[in-house]
Structure 1
Amino acid sequence: MSGPKKLHVKSFGCQMNVYDAQRMADTLAREGFVETETIEDADLVILNTCHIREKAAEKVYSELGRVRRLKDEAAHHGRKVTVAVAGCVAQAEGAEIVRRAPTVDLVVGPQNYHRLPDLIARAAQGERVVDTEFPVEDKFDHLAPASAAATRRRGVSAFLTVQEGCDKFCTFCVVPYTRGAEVSRPAAKIVAEAERLATAGVREITLIGQNVNSYHGEGADGRPLSLAGLVAAVADVPRIARIRYTTSHPRDMDDELIAAHRDLPQLMPQLHLPVQSGSDRILAAMNRRHTCDDYLRLVERLRRARPDMAFTSDFIVGFPGETEADFQATLAVVEDVGYAGAFSFKYSPRPGTPAAERDDQVADTHKAERLARLQALIDAGQDRFNESCVGRTFDVLLEKPGRHAGQLVGRSPYLQPVHVTAEPSRIGDIVAVTVTSMGGNSLFGHIVAPGERPPANIGTSAIAHA
Structure 2
Amino acid sequence: MTAPQPTPSKAEVISLGCRLNISESEQIRAMLADESDVIVINSCAVTSEAVRQTRQAIRRARRNRPDARLLVTGCAAEIEREQLAAMPEVDGLIANTQKLDARAWNVPVQAEPVLPKHTRAFVTVQNGCDHACTFCVIPQGRGTSRSLTIPQVLGEVERHLSQGAMEVVLTGVDVTSWGEDLPDRPPLGRLVRSILDQFPTLERLRMSSLDGVEIDAELFELFAFEERIMPHLHLSLQSGDDMILKRMKRRHLRRDAVDLVERLKRHRSNLSIGADIIAGFPTETDAMHANNLSIIAELGIVHGHIFPYSPRPGTPAARMPQVDRAIVKQRASELRAETLKIRDEWLRSLIGREQQVLAEKDGTGYGPSFARVAVPEGIAAGRIVTITPTKLEEGLLQ
1:158 equivalent in structure 2:
121
2:352 equivalent in structure 1:
391
1:194 equivalent in structure 2:
157
**Kindly tell me: are residues 188 and 382 of structure 1, through their superposed partners in 2, closer, same or farther at Cα, counting changes over 3 Å?**
same
Q: 2:375 is paired with a residue of what secondary structure?
A: strand
1:319 equivalent in structure 2:
281
Contact 2:17/2:50 (8 A) holds in 1:
no
Alignment map for 1:133-282 (pairs within 5 Å): 146-147=112-113, 150-151=114-115, 153-216=116-179, 223-236=184-197, 237-282=199-244
Letter in 1 for 2:255: D
Paired with 2:200 and 2:382, the residues of 1 have a C-alpha distance of 14
Paired with 1:326 and 1:205, the residues of 2 have a C-alpha distance of 37
Contact 1:187/1:218 (8 A) holds in 2:
no
Paired with 1:274 and 1:300, the residues of 2 have a C-alpha distance of 17
**Kindly tell me: are residues 213 and 427 of structure 1, through their superposed partners in 2, closer, same or farther at Cα, counting changes over 3 Å?**
same
Higher relative contact order at CA 8 Å, sep ≥6: structure 1 or structure 2?
2
Answering whether residue 89 of structure 2 is matched by residue 103 of structure 1, we say yes
Structure 2 segments unaligned to the other structure (5+ residues): none
Answering whether residue 44 of structure 2 is matched by residue 57 of structure 1, we say no
Superposed displacement of residue 430, structure 1: 2.1
Paired with 2:317 and 2:242, the residues of 1 have a C-alpha distance of 16
Instruction: Compute the TM-score of the two structures, normalised by the length of structure 2.
Output: 0.92
C-alpha distance after superposition, 1:89-126 (max 9, x if no partner) = 0011224422x2133221112210134554457xxxxx
**Kindly tell me: are residues 365 and 114 of structure 1, through their superposed partners in 2, closer, same or farther at Cα, counting changes over 3 Å?**
closer
Answering whether residue 18 of structure 2 is matched by residue 14 of structure 1, we say yes
Superposed displacement of residue 274, structure 1: 2.5
Alignment map for 1:18-97 (pairs within 5 Å): 18-29=22-33, 32-33=34-35, 43-70=37-64, 72=66, 74=67, 81-97=68-84
Paired with 1:218 and 1:90, the residues of 2 have a C-alpha distance of 26
Of the three residues 250, 262, 276, the one matched with 1:300 is 262
Aligned-residue sequence identity (percent) comes to: 33
Answering whether residue 397 of structure 2 is matched by residue 436 of structure 1, we say no
Superposed displacement of residue 24, structure 1: 0.4
1:113 equivalent in structure 2:
99
C-alpha distance after superposition, 1:321-355 (max 9, x if no partner) = 00000001111111211112201121000111110
Paired with 1:52 and 1:438, the residues of 2 have a C-alpha distance of 33
C-alpha distance after superposition, 1:136-175 (max 9, x if no partner) = xxxxxx9x7644xx32x33121100001111221111111
Contact 1:278/1:332 (8 A) holds in 2:
yes
- Mark the structure with the bigger radius of gyration: 1
C-alpha distance after superposition, 1:190-228 (max 9, x if no partner) = 111111111111110000011112211798xx7333211
Paired with 2:211 and 2:268, the residues of 1 have a C-alpha distance of 19
Q: 2:388 is paired with a residue of what secondary structure?
A: strand
Of the three residues 285, 303, 319, the one matched with 2:247 is 285
Q: 1:435 is paired with a residue of what secondary structure?
A: coil
